[in-house]
Chains A and B, each alone.
Chain A
Amino acid sequence: MKIERAAVIGAGVMGAGIAAHFANAGIPCVLLDIPAKDGPAKEGTDRSAIAKGAVAKMLKTDPAPFMHPKNAKLITPGNLEDDLSLLADVDWIVEAIVENPAIKSDLYKRIDPVRKAGSVVSSNTSTIPLAVLTEGQGEQFRKDFLITHFFNPPRYMRLLEIVGGADTRADALAAIADVCDRRLGKGVVHCKDTPGFIANRIGVFWIQAAVNAAVDLGLTVEEADAVGGRPMGIPKTGIFGLMDLVGLDLMPHIAKSMSATLPANDAYRGQMREHPVITRMIAEGYTGRKGKGGFYRINKAGGGKVKESVNLQSGEYAPSEKARLDSVSAAGRDLRKLCEHPDKGGRFARRVLAQTLAYAASLVPEIADSIVAVDEGMRLGYNWKQGPFELIDRLGTDWFAELCRSEGIPVPALVETAAGRPFYRVEGGKLQHLTTAGVYDTVVRPDGVLLLSDIKRAAGKPVWKNGSASLWNIGDGVLCIEFTSKMNAVDGDIMAAYEKAMRLIGDGKGDWKALVIHNEADNFSVGANLGLALFALNIGLWPQIEEMVEGGQRTYRALKYAPFPVVAAPSGMALGGGCEILLHSDHVQAHAETYVGLVEVGVGLIPAWGGCTEMLARHQANPKAPRGPMPGIAKAFEIISTATVAKSAAEAKELLYFRATDGITMNRDRLLADAKAKALELAQAYTPPEKTTSYVLPGPTAKAAMELAVEGFALQGKVTPHDKVVCAALAEVLSGGEEADIAKPVGEDHILRLEREAFMGLVRTGGTIDRIEHMLLTGKPLRN
């Protein structure tokens, strides 16, 4: 069965967010809520005001639920009384209304007669078992019903828990899982019909255990988050920061619903505890970021901005103090060392990890058939770097069993089964996991998923590598360059790796046919290595700096005009020099969540590895722009001078960082396979692009126009003194320079020379050096 059209019922934060994500996937979606009775006067008698208001609100929400504002047009808002007939055209109806079985049951009975035969209905419930939801419903409804549990916010959280019931049609389950995977880009985890499924079952326990331990062991919220954040492979928000994000008031609700449905002997019952300080905070409106503040708050009293945190014992706020724990600094990335440390940080880590990981281990096979699903659930649903079983492996199963004993926790059966063996192992280059039967099974990836990590594991060693990049054989004659430098910053070694790749691939007619640029880090590349640049600047190595610029241009040009296809497959941030390589690729196959930008002006520079030249070419050739020499120049100037970063691959297309022909892959796990397929397709009859030789640029006239614009912004106070210097240099490049004239088109070599000259001029200014230093010190741009 095919899912072409969808509907979401319930236009709350989750429902509306799911509808927006359908739109992001290009799936038209009906969004229904109850009729508005007493809507604001402005909306008059519009009975669909609730759903319409939800869409309007999402257009203003940051981070944006929509990947592009135009996606909002794919949503048809309506109300449940007048517009039920809209459901007759949809293939999948997602119910995301209040968590009340009686109200849900009534709704199902109303939608069942109008929905299309063969359509699927799923609930986004996070707590109510499927068996309860289908009670009293007709046979066909039960066959067409399942649970699809999205995480908030639906666009950004990758986990989707899917639960089928005893009656659910297998083809319905498969079709929904497939559309969630390929079209919505979710990591689909099959769960059993148990309370909280996988991620919330463990996540809620973990949060409660951590709060209890922090209070009992006397840790401050900063200390708890310092231990419970990065050292455990958890986002730096830690536990209290996370609660501020999701809302403190959610905790009592979850506790209540969990205790209503969990088995009588469940370990969570032992953790459930009301903390008077938190109860008081909720009562007083300190519910987190959505309220007056939470465990952390920004106190703006007296005109300042002071970060404060709450004292877990007294409930009083005081200026936040950075945690200083020996355990954290001594352990580094060694989890075992952290747990063994005698200070309160170590004791906290030991207790929280022992309780949480033991709980998780005790739940297989109750909540899922394999440990792989549990680990994936925690990685994708709670952004843990590693799942519970991967964490146990870091500690060692034996060591962990011992830890449980010392903490007075029963050793989980699965840990006993492991008997000292790891939960995961690599056998014959393949990743295997321990089953409940005590044997190892190969971890099977879904069809069409190709992970560089799997390839690396199987290959053992790369084709070639240096300090900042590796070249991997990803099969069928395709070579993949992986950045390995810190934050994937681009440096000389990465340029050398490109050169090596070009030598290996040669004319593309031998063993190698194509190059793919890809890595699995959070961010594709944050740009050129500024630290190296600053070092060279400080000692005045001008010729070396110039060579760095010119060499980068040479390498990127060589890749662009190489006799074989180059396909880039980015995900996450691709900034500065990391964006410029995308501009030089024959094809970009981007993950939908790719954030691209030429942000050089932030450090007082201009893109000089061909970024200006490529953006100019693209914007001047943009068929949608008005004719004439100025619109393309003005657009490129606007984008580069304001360091505009596209907040999705779709936005990147609009800004022409990506071409209309570039591809977007919704599921990150499918990115490399898509890129490789495209590379092989291009390799079949590949001819390199022609050199652009006819840039029509008005020279000083265009520069004058750009200067006028900048002067206007300067008067408005939107441009700093050094911005003016940088903008002037950028205007010089994009205008074509002193000699350019509309009657005398220039080639790309001319603009590349201007890029180099502008760059070399800027690096000699104090303002630019200050910006670079500031960025390296603080990670933030200096507005000088």
Chain B
Amino acid sequence: MKSVVIAGYARSPFAFAHKGELTKVRPDDLLARVIAALVERTGLKTDDIEDVIVGCSFPEGEQGLNVARSISFLAKLPQTAAATTVNRYCGSSMQSIHQAAGAIQMGAGEVFVCGGVESMTRVPIMGFNPMPNPALKESYPEAYCSMGITAENVARKYAISRAEQEALAVASHAKAAEAQAAGRLSDEIVGIRTPAGLVDKDGCIRPGTNAEGLAGLKPAFTADGTVTAGTSSPLTDGASVVLVTTEEYARANGLPILAKIRSVAVAGCAPELMGLGPVPATRKALARAGLSIADIDIIEINEAFSSQAIACMRDLDIDPSRINPDGGALALGHPLGATGARITGKAAALLKREGKQFALATQCIGGGQGIATILEAV
């Protein structure tokens, strides 16, 4: 097995869709700017790039037309670098990393730019033309279960109280606000010029979020439910990218190695309980790495919803205090296609920053799937 490493990570600020500071930025421009900055920061020889793999949940409209190729051009990458757009919904950009790692292992290239993007302002969730199969809807309606309802289903199945969900959101905002104030997020963020000026800070974090405030919100998805807007990740605009290559190439070219990829996994689960996807995916990835959850030092678990994150932690035996040290998606936001690269890049950067051994990045995926990556210090 070759040693495949993450040798660079950058992202745009994340901002509220529809009302945030990135609403007027096209998603292809957004990721292109982040990739260009990563190239500049790492000194990557762009002629060596095999492929640009971009994850996107709704690759249509401004995210359509194989957006990865447009992004490559916009980022001024050489035309010899190929480009592909991949879709595994929320797991899309983690999938792009897995795809690169797999290609490297089979000798199908050495340098991969793996990113993800989603403008939830400019391309709506569900896309412009949602056209579900009526026969499937009839025979297996769970296939089209909406995300909010899956969060309610998980909360009910695991008897997760509203207060418990809100406590996770309060903690997520507190950690993110603290990280932002201490400047711990600025290294990874690439400032974006917009018509209104430079945006270089995350826009979704609400410092001072407290239990009382959250308790006043109405249920968002069912009249008698426990999931609210405060315990759901917000609709977000954002882009992220990591550089995936071999340890050998990275060393030879002086690239900043953050971590190596130890194992990866994807797994399917019930679509109406899609939030549980990280459980089987993480178990598979741990088994492939020959590790147990106790061996993991850094955990980035995507907070699509409080309820599903809590349920996964229960099943995987993770102490909530151990996750997402700089805040999770409840506070930072969840631009669907961009989240996977963010949490993988973040986990790698944290391994390095904290000087730890193993990290896990995992997330749930609409339609009933999970995806997980285990990283190891180099």
The answer on A and B forming one complex is: yes
**Hey, which bits of chain A sit against chain B, CB under 8 A?**
626-631, 698, 700-705, 707-708, 712, 715-717
**Hey, which bits of chain B sit against chain A, CB under 8 A?**
61, 128-134, 137, 144, 146, 148-149, 219-225
Q: Check if A712 sits within 8 Å of B129, measured CB to CB.
A: no
A716 and B131 in contact (CB under 8 A), knowing A707-B137, A708-B137, A708-B146? no
Q: Check if A716 sits within 8 Å of B222, measured CB to CB.
A: yes
A712 and B146 in contact (CB under 8 A), knowing A700-B134, A704-B137? yes
Interface CB pairs A-B, < 8 A, 13: A626-B129, A630-B130, A631-B129, A700-B134, A701-B134, A702-B131, A704-B137, A705-B131, A705-B132, A707-B137, A712-B148, A716-B220, A717-B223
Contact of B221 among A628, A700, A707, A715 (CB under 8 A): A715
Separation of A707 and B146 alpha carbons in the complex (Å) = 12
Can you add 20 more A-B contacts, CB < 8 Å, to A626-B61, A712-B221?
A626-B129, A628-B128, A628-B129, A629-B131, A630-B128, A630-B129, A631-B128, A700-B134, A701-B131, A702-B131, A703-B134, A705-B132, A708-B144, A708-B146, A712-B146, A715-B149, A715-B222, A715-B223, A717-B222, A717-B224
Separation of A712 and B130 alpha carbons in the complex (Å) = 14
Q: Which residues of B contact A700 (CB under 8 A)?
A: 134
Closest Cβ neighbor of B135 among chain A residues: A700
Q: Check if A716 sits within 8 Å of B146, measured CB to CB.
A: no
Separation of A704 and B144 alpha carbons in the complex (Å) = 10
Closest Cβ neighbor of B223 among chain A residues: A717
Q: Which residues of A contact B131 (CB under 8 A)?
A: 629-630, 698, 701-702, 705
Separation of A405 and B221 alpha carbons in the complex (Å) = 71
Separation of A698 and B132 alpha carbons in the complex (Å) = 10
A716 and B221 in contact (CB under 8 A), knowing A630-B130, A698-B131? yes
Count of inter-chain pairs, beta carbons less than 8 A? 53
Which 6 pairs show the lowest CB-CB distances between chains A and B? A717-B223, A628-B129, A626-B128, A630-B129, A700-B134, A704-B134
Most A-side CB within 10 Å, residue of B129, B132, B219 = B129
Q: Check if A701 sits within 8 Å of B132, measured CB to CB.
A: yes
Q: Check if B133 sits within 8 Å of A701, measured CB to CB.
A: yes
Q: How far is the CB of A80 from chain B (nearest CB, A)?
A: 27
Q: Which residues of B contact A705 (CB under 8 A)?
A: 130-132
Separation of A301 and B13 alpha carbons in the complex (Å) = 48
Q: Which residues of A contact B223 (CB under 8 A)?
A: 715-717
Separation of A707 and B137 alpha carbons in the complex (Å) = 10
Separation of A630 and B224 alpha carbons in the complex (Å) = 31
Q: Which residues of B contact A716 (CB under 8 A)?
A: 219-223
Separation of A630 and B133 alpha carbons in the complex (Å) = 14
Q: How far is the CB of A736 from chain B (nearest CB, A)?
A: 13
Q: Which residues of A contact B61 (CB under 8 A)?
A: 626
Q: How far is the CB of B219 from chain A (nearest CB, A)?
A: 8
Q: How far is the CB of B218 from chain A (nearest CB, A)?
A: 9
Separation of A701 and B132 alpha carbons in the complex (Å) = 6
Q: Check if B129 sits within 8 Å of A629, measured CB to CB.
A: yes
Q: How far is the CB of B119 from chain A (nearest CB, A)?
A: 14
A interface SS class: helix
Most A-side CB within 10 Å, residue of B130, B133, B144, B220 = B130
Q: How far is the CB of A734 from chain B (nearest CB, A)?
A: 14
Q: Check if A627 sits within 8 Å of B222, measured CB to CB.
A: no
Separation of A627 and B220 alpha carbons in the complex (Å) = 30
Separation of A43 and B222 alpha carbons in the complex (Å) = 37
Separation of A716 and B220 alpha carbons in the complex (Å) = 7
Q: Which residues of A contact B220 (CB under 8 A)?
A: 716
Q: How far is the CB of A705 from chain B (nearest CB, A)?
A: 5
Separation of A717 and B219 alpha carbons in the complex (Å) = 10
Q: Which residues of A contact B129 (CB under 8 A)?
A: 626, 628-631
Q: How far is the CB of A128 from chain B (nearest CB, A)?
A: 43
Q: Which residues of B contact A703 (CB under 8 A)?
A: 134
Separation of A705 and B144 alpha carbons in the complex (Å) = 10
Closest Cβ neighbor of A705 among chain B residues: B130
Q: Which residues of B contact A698 (CB under 8 A)?
A: 131
Separation of A134 and B134 alpha carbons in the complex (Å) = 75
Q: Which residues of B contact A629 (CB under 8 A)?
A: 129, 131
Separation of A698 and B221 alpha carbons in the complex (Å) = 28
Q: How far is the CB of B305 from chain A (nearest CB, A)?
A: 15
Closest Cβ neighbor of A698 among chain B residues: B131
Q: Which residues of A contact B221 (CB under 8 A)?
A: 712, 715-716
Separation of A341 and B128 alpha carbons in the complex (Å) = 67
Q: Check if A704 sits within 8 Å of B222, measured CB to CB.
A: no
Q: Which residues of B contact A630 (CB under 8 A)?
A: 128-131
Q: How far is the CB of A161 from chain B (nearest CB, A)?
A: 42
Separation of A702 and B134 alpha carbons in the complex (Å) = 8
Q: Which residues of B contact A708 (CB under 8 A)?
A: 130, 132, 137, 144, 146
Closest Cβ neighbor of B146 among chain A residues: A712
Separation of A700 and B224 alpha carbons in the complex (Å) = 31
Q: Which residues of B contact A631 (CB under 8 A)?
A: 128-129
Q: How far is the CB of A752 from chain B (nearest CB, A)?
A: 23
Closest Cβ neighbor of A709 among chain B residues: B130
Separation of A698 and B129 alpha carbons in the complex (Å) = 10
Separation of A551 and B234 alpha carbons in the complex (Å) = 50
Q: Which residues of B contact A701 (CB under 8 A)?
A: 131-134
Q: How far is the CB of A732 from chain B (nearest CB, A)?
A: 12
Q: Which residues of B contact A707 (CB under 8 A)?
A: 137
Q: Which residues of B contact A704 (CB under 8 A)?
A: 132-134, 137, 144
Most B-side CB within 10 Å, residue of A629, A701, A703 = A701
Closest Cβ neighbor of A738 among chain B residues: B134
Closest Cβ neighbor of A707 among chain B residues: B137
Separation of A538 and B221 alpha carbons in the complex (Å) = 39
Closest Cβ neighbor of A712 among chain B residues: B146
Separation of A703 and B146 alpha carbons in the complex (Å) = 17
Most A-side CB within 10 Å, residue of B137, B146, B148 = B137
Closest Cβ neighbor of A742 among chain B residues: B131
Q: Which residues of A contact B225 (CB under 8 A)?
A: 715
Q: How far is the CB of B127 from chain A (nearest CB, A)?
A: 9
Separation of A433 and B224 alpha carbons in the complex (Å) = 66
Q: Which residues of B contact A715 (CB under 8 A)?
A: 149, 221-223, 225
Q: How far is the CB of A731 from chain B (nearest CB, A)?
A: 11
Separation of A705 and B128 alpha carbons in the complex (Å) = 12
Q: Which residues of B contact A717 (CB under 8 A)?
A: 222-224
Separation of A698 and B134 alpha carbons in the complex (Å) = 11
Separation of A627 and B123 alpha carbons in the complex (Å) = 12
Q: Which residues of A contact B222 (CB under 8 A)?
A: 715-717
Q: How far is the CB of B374 from chain A (nearest CB, A)?
A: 36
Q: Which residues of A contact B148 (CB under 8 A)?
A: 712
Closest Cβ neighbor of A633 among chain B residues: B129
Q: Which residues of A contact B133 (CB under 8 A)?
A: 701, 704
Q: How far is the CB of A274 from chain B (nearest CB, A)?
A: 45
Q: How far is the CB of A604 from chain B (nearest CB, A)?
A: 22
Separation of A715 and B148 alpha carbons in the complex (Å) = 10
Separation of A701 and B144 alpha carbons in the complex (Å) = 13
Q: How far is the CB of B346 from chain A (nearest CB, A)?
A: 31
Separation of A337 and B225 alpha carbons in the complex (Å) = 61
Q: How far is the CB of A344 from chain B (nearest CB, A)?
A: 50
Separation of A704 and B143 alpha carbons in the complex (Å) = 12
Separation of A707 and B133 alpha carbons in the complex (Å) = 12
Separation of A707 and B131 alpha carbons in the complex (Å) = 11
Separation of A703 and B130 alpha carbons in the complex (Å) = 11
Separation of A642 and B354 alpha carbons in the complex (Å) = 54
Closest Cβ neighbor of A717 among chain B residues: B223
Q: Which residues of B contact A628 (CB under 8 A)?
A: 128-129
Q: Which residues of A contact B128 (CB under 8 A)?
A: 626-628, 630-631
Q: How far is the CB of B24 from chain A (nearest CB, A)?
A: 15
Q: Which residues of B contact A626 (CB under 8 A)?
A: 61, 128-129
Q: Which residues of B contact A712 (CB under 8 A)?
A: 146, 148-149, 221
Q: How far is the CB of A704 from chain B (nearest CB, A)?
A: 4
Separation of A715 and B225 alpha carbons in the complex (Å) = 9
Q: How far is the CB of B122 from chain A (nearest CB, A)?
A: 10
Closest Cβ neighbor of B225 among chain A residues: A715
Separation of A712 and B131 alpha carbons in the complex (Å) = 16
Separation of A626 and B128 alpha carbons in the complex (Å) = 7
Closest Cβ neighbor of B149 among chain A residues: A715
